[in-house]
Amino acid sequence: MSAATLERAPQPKAPEPKGSHRKPRRRKKAGERVLHWFTWALIVWLALPIAVVVAFSFNNPHGRYNYSWTGFTFKYWGSQLFAIPNLTTAMEHSIIVAIAATAGATILGTLIGIALGKYRFRGQGVANLVQFACIAAPEVVLGSSMATFFLQARIQEGWPTVIAAHIMFCLSFVAITVRARVLTLDPSVEDAAKDLGAGPWDTFRLVTLPMIMPGVIAGAMLAFALSIDDFITTEFTSGSFVTYPLWIWSVSRQGLPPQVNVMGSIVFAVGVLFAIATSVVSRRRAA
Amino acid sequence: MRAVHSNLRSKLTPYYLMLPGGLWLAVFFAVPIIMMIGLSTMSGNIISGFGDTWHHFGNYAGSFTQYKSQWIRSAEYAGLGCLISIALSYPIAYWIAFYGGSRKSTYLFLLLLPFFVSFVLRTIAWDYILGDQGMLLGPLKHLHLVSQNFHVLATGSAVVIGIVYNYLPFMILPIYVALERVDPKLIEAGRDLYANPVTVFTKVVLPLSLPGVFAGVLLNFVPAASDYVNASVLGGTGNTMIGNVIYDQYFVVQNYPLQASLSFSLMAILLIGIFSYARALGTEEVLAAAATA
Amino acid sequence: MSGTDPARLRGMTERRSRPAQQGGLSRRGLFKLGGAAAASLALSSCAIPGLAKIVTPAQAQAQARDFWPKQKATGKLNFANWASYIDPDHESLKLFTQATGISVNYQEVIEDDNSFFAKIDPLIRSGQYTGYDLMVITDGFEFTNLVELQEAIPLDRGMLPNFQRYAVSKFRQETFDPGNLYSVPWASGITGIAWNTKYVKEPVTSIDILWDPKYAGKIGMMQDPQELANFGLFKAGINPDTSTLADWNKAATVLQQQRNSNLVRAYYDQSYLDALSKGDIWITMAWSGDIFQQNQSAGNNDLQFVVPAEGGTIWTDNMMIPKYAQNPVSAMKMMDWFYRPDIATMVTENIQYISSCSPVNSLIAQDAKLKKGANGLDQATLQALVGSPLVFPPASVLGRVRNYVTPTDPKTAQTFKNLFNAITEG
């Protein structure tokens, strides 16, 4: 996803293209080659657990524990994939929460981002401070403070509190993303629209919004990624509601069944495909 | 480019825009934190209830003396994790920024790829990989390349490995962005002035990339210092961090006031650190890079 | 991962010249923030209330007599239990649904009593349904807390005919729940020592092996304060039933010494089994039925279990109904269902924990005579089960197992917990 926005973002300063000042065919220095191999080594190291997760989704374990290879099978990808109803439910819960949290955080965060980026007003400092604190605050603190808040306010923990918590911590990220985008906007375009007689709502809808849309989408994708993977804050605020990371955690005390590996691999593949697709789309749009 | 609107149709527009989100943050972020401060000064237990607010600041003193080793350990693991992370990330960010050419985004993408898998699942996968008789150590022990008692899990090293692994993109990306901004003409100028490559690096590139490095450090240190998952899965006795203590005090002991005082202390320490650093360096939006991941 | 918009990242790395003008925090902003904070501090004095009053058993029975006639039957049940605590393919639950028409949502969400209690206690305090109608709680602190905080519904024993007929009372459940006011046992178990025969070649009989430097770094202990405390007390030669604060301190010293000598690899919840099977630990405190089930599913006999000579802990997991349960009648029916001898036998054969239903022993003996086995188990396993001292403890074992130490006074309980938590948290 980052790759995509990198390509897509306009660069007002327009620096010189990086590679062009060097001769096209140059001898690779030793240092450069070392760095090249180092990069690849790190990519492999980073991918190692993922490879293990995917590989063991094809394992056929004898007992509860899926850590030694005992035989190849496709059954956990096919007929047995939804054999654990609680896991499937937890997965559904995660997706629904992520969608709801993304929607909420995107709307609220975009509004804040626009406010902070375009206008100057009293209380802006405080607002920046709070955004900052929200992003900087450790998840343990966010989670435990919300948990005790619900306890003192006699609010039942469940999916509403989980969604509320997710919207809360995602919204600052969206706000920052949108704000950065808004800061790069050329105000003369909006002034031109106003000069041509567009009202504020029309200006917003037809001029501002499309221009900041890449930032909004980037913020939304960020919110979705944060929400679907969130563990610590959700653990404190979920009550008896179970999401996919929470389910993995509680079952890991016992041994992960291969279905978890399969679902993890599927989520991974979907994310990858999505990122590739966005990158292709943006490349086509830029071309 | 900053958009300055001096003639606003309605001066209240920004307030309207801020209202929904601001209210949400006030209710679910600010209020709980403030109530947590109040809770941290209560005393009591689960049966007879908690009360007596503002009378028991002893929780704070207690939490620091009793859990001194966990506080120190959290700082150590997070700090060590940051250093290792910088050592790993800087060369890569440098290489991609300067030599990546047209394939920069592909490399970045490949580096970020593993993070599409759930955090918990990744950490548990390391637990399996590093098992005493697992796929890494098992063969090594079989070939007698390491002693039979050798183990990586249940040590501080495993926790640090987990921390470095889980937060690496938050270090690579800020450094990469800072390096990418370096105008190659500056490097050429350095060369033209007879500086050798090492001097060019230390006097031109490194100072320009420092804000990125510091941003990466912040984005690593804060979550790492407050994490409990890595210590729980990969650590053993003597590897508990302050995040574990907070978790225990809430779920196991149900000593809510102590847990609240620990949480608040943790947040205060981290925030004060961040603010003083931000003031000192004058760097704006240091955590905007959090949005890059 | 997304959004490396250079413009934004540029903002991240640029120096800022004058904070105040560019929306930084000015003095005024600080005052406003202070004002708002002061206003909200008023909110922070919300205390968390405790017990309204103590309820005597007579009052609890009166409450039960009052409560149950008003309840109507429903067609659902939400059942929270520990993992691997029922026959694996849930045949017992399916038969229940066939017999009563009640659909069961079986959730293996309990990993330890502490965290489960921490999840449901806030819900019940706020007067809300926990999401569960039936739960299985060990006879430790959380059980006592639930009873004292009136967060469990007293039972109507008129609705438990099978229990009345078949239940065995020899496991002293009377002490923590006299008259079975709030609970009926689900299963009992013994905490002892388990080891992996691939790595530990000597016979294990004494608790001293957990303190043996030969196995430094390969020893597992349990995290739960009550489990840990009992083993410390056994090592120090003290009987938990009559122990005092001074005794607990002695136990804590012994455990601390074990820790300081780097003998213990980690303090586990139920995940000790994973570590033991993987080979990360070789000897550990363990629960009796877990070891059998692991051997069963792995198809070998690598893991062995023993009750140490110095003593083991016997505990009982009990079915309770949390307050505000929406399907209490279904919960009672299920409680009674698991005292049907055939169902109890089915479960016991599969989990190999101690049953409180008296005909089970003879029924298992009958099943062991069947060539094709029964309830998903083969004949050899059933025959081994018949004489198993773990599932049908003889007097010699019963003589040396003890209950948990459960101080009822909250302050003493807190002291106890803190004493042993300090060892696992350190």
The DSSP bridge partners found for residue C316 are: C188
Note whether B290 contacts C: Cβ–Cβ < 8 A. no
What's the rounded mean pLDDT across residues A199-221?
A: 84
What's the rounded mean pLDDT across residues A104-109?
A: 93
Residues 6+ away with beta carbon under 8 Å from C62: none
Task: Determine the pLDDT at residue B290.
Answer: 37
Helix (H) or strand (E) holding C317: strand C312-320
The shortest C-alpha distance from A93 to chain B (Å) reads 15
| CA separation for the pair C60, C57 (Å, rounded) | 5
What confidence tens digit (pLDDT) does each residue in B205-224 have? 888 888 888 888 888 899 99
Which band of pLDDT confidence, cut at 50, 70 and 90, is reported for residue A19?
A: very low
| CA separation for the pair C343, C347 (Å, rounded) | 6
Note whether B155 contacts C: Cβ–Cβ < 8 A. no
Which band of pLDDT confidence, cut at 50, 70 and 90, is reported for residue C235?
A: very high
Helix (H) or strand (E) holding C221: strand C219-222
Residues 6+ away with beta carbon under 8 Å from A181: A113, A117, A212, A214, A215, A216, A218, C5, C7, C8
Task: Determine the pLDDT at residue A26.
Answer: 53
Task: Determine the pLDDT at residue B289.
Answer: 41
Q: What percent of chain C has pLDDT over 90?
A: 36
Place of tokens 């439910």: A89
Residue in chain C lying closest to A271 (CA) = C1
Please tell me whether the interface predicted TM-score (ipTM) of this complex is above 0.90. no
Closest CA to C314 of C382, C246, C389, C245: C389
Check if the beta carbon of residue A121 is closer than 8 Å to that of residue C94: no
Chain A residues near residue B188 by CB distance under 8 angstroms: 21
The DSSP bridge partners found for residue C285 are: C193
Q: Is the pLDDT of residue C227 over 90?
A: yes
Domain ranges of chain B: 71-292
What confidence tens digit (pLDDT) does each residue in C340-360 have? 999 999 999 888 898 888 888
Q: Is the pLDDT of residue C98 over 80?
A: yes
Helix (H) or strand (E) holding A223: helix A209-229
Note whether C324 contacts A: Cβ–Cβ < 8 A. no
Chain B residues near residue A197 by CB distance under 8 angstroms: none
The string of DSSP letters for A117-162 reads: HH---TTHHHHHHHHHHHHHS-HHHHHHHHHHHHHHTTPPPSHHHH
CATH 3.40.190.10 range(s) for chain C read 57-188+315-371, 193-311+401-425
Q: What percent of chain C has pLDDT over 70?
A: 86
Q: Quick check: C32 and A123 CB within 8 A?
A: yes
| CA separation for the pair A287, A140 (Å, rounded) | 45
Chain B residues near residue C149 by CB distance under 8 angstroms: 46-47
> Which residues numbered 131-160 in C keep a CB inside 8 Å of some CB on B?
145, 148-149
Q: Quick check: B260 and A148 CB within 8 A?
A: yes
Sheet hosting strand B49-51, strand order edge to edge:
B43-45, B49-51, C48-49
Is pTM beyond 0.95 here? no
Residue in chain C lying closest to A220 (CA) = C2
For chain A, list the contacting chains (3+ Cβ pairs, <8 Å). Answer: B, C
Place of tokens 């969608």: A99
CATH number assigned to the domain covering A85-256: 1.10.3720.10
What confidence tens digit (pLDDT) does each residue in B143-181 have? 888 887 788 888 899 999 999 999 998 899 888 888 888
Task: Determine the pLDDT at residue B112.
Answer: 82
What's the rounded mean pLDDT across residues A160-181?
A: 90
| CA separation for the pair B288, B178 (Å, rounded) | 13
Using CA of residue C315, residue C317, residue C318, residue C321, what is the dihedral sign? positive
Note whether C53 contacts B: Cβ–Cβ < 8 A. no
| Secondary structure letter of residue C93 according to DSSP | H
Residues 6+ away with beta carbon under 8 Å from A194: A203
The shortest C-alpha distance from C133 to chain B (Å) reads 21
The shortest C-alpha distance from C68 to chain B (Å) reads 26
Task: Determine the pLDDT at residue A87.
Answer: 85
Q: Is C390 left (phi over 0), alpha (psi -120 to 50) or beta?
A: alpha
Task: Determine the pLDDT at residue B183.
Answer: 82
| CA separation for the pair C166, C335 (Å, rounded) | 13
What's the rounded mean pLDDT across residues C306-329?
A: 92
Chain C residues near residue A123 by CB distance under 8 angstroms: 29, 32
Which band of pLDDT confidence, cut at 50, 70 and 90, is reported for residue C35?
A: low
What's the rounded mean pLDDT across residues C70-76?
A: 90
Residue in chain C lying closest to B27 (CA) = C40
Task: Determine the pLDDT at residue C194.
Answer: 95
How many inter-chain contacts (A to C, CB under 8 Å) are there?
Answer: 155
Q: What percent of chain B has pLDDT over 90?
A: 23
What's the rounded mean pLDDT across residues C258-278?
A: 89
Domain ranges of chain A: 85-256
Angle among Cα B70, B74, B77 to the nearest 5 degrees reads 130
Task: Determine the pLDDT at residue B103.
Answer: 79
Burial, B128: exposed, middle or buried (Cβ in 10 Å; 0-12, 13-18, 19+)?
buried
What's the rounded mean pLDDT across residues B84-104?
A: 87
Note whether C256 contacts A: Cβ–Cβ < 8 A. no
Task: Determine the pLDDT at residue C9.
Answer: 56
Task: Return the higher-pLDDT residue of C20 and B100.
Answer: B100
Q: Quick check: B18 and A115 CB within 8 A?
A: yes
The shortest C-alpha distance from A41 to chain B (Å) reads 10
User: Does CATH place domain C57-188+315-371 in 3.40.50.1470?
Assistant: no
Q: Report the mean per-residue pLDDT for chain C.
A: 84
Say how many residues make up chain A.
Answer: 287
3-state SS class at B206: helix
C-alpha torsion C21→C22→C27→C28, nearest 10: 90
Using CA of residue B105, residue B109, residue B111, residue B112, what is the dihedral sign? positive
What confidence tens digit (pLDDT) does each residue in A29-44 have? 777 888 888 888 998 9
Considering A25-29, A85-89, B57-61, B86-90, the range whose residues carry the highest mean pLDDT is B86-90
Residues 6+ away with beta carbon under 8 Å from A268: A50, A53, A54, B116, B117
User: Does CATH place domain B71-292 in 3.40.50.300?
Assistant: no
Q: Quick check: C426 and B238 CB within 8 A?
A: yes
CATH of C193-311+401-425, one of 3.40.190.10, 3.30.420.10, 3.30.2130.10, 3.40.1690.10: 3.40.190.10
| CA separation for the pair A256, A254 (Å, rounded) | 7
Helix (H) or strand (E) holding C402: strand C401-402
The shortest C-alpha distance from C330 to chain B (Å) reads 29
What confidence tens digit (pLDDT) does each residue in B238-249 have? 899 999 999 988
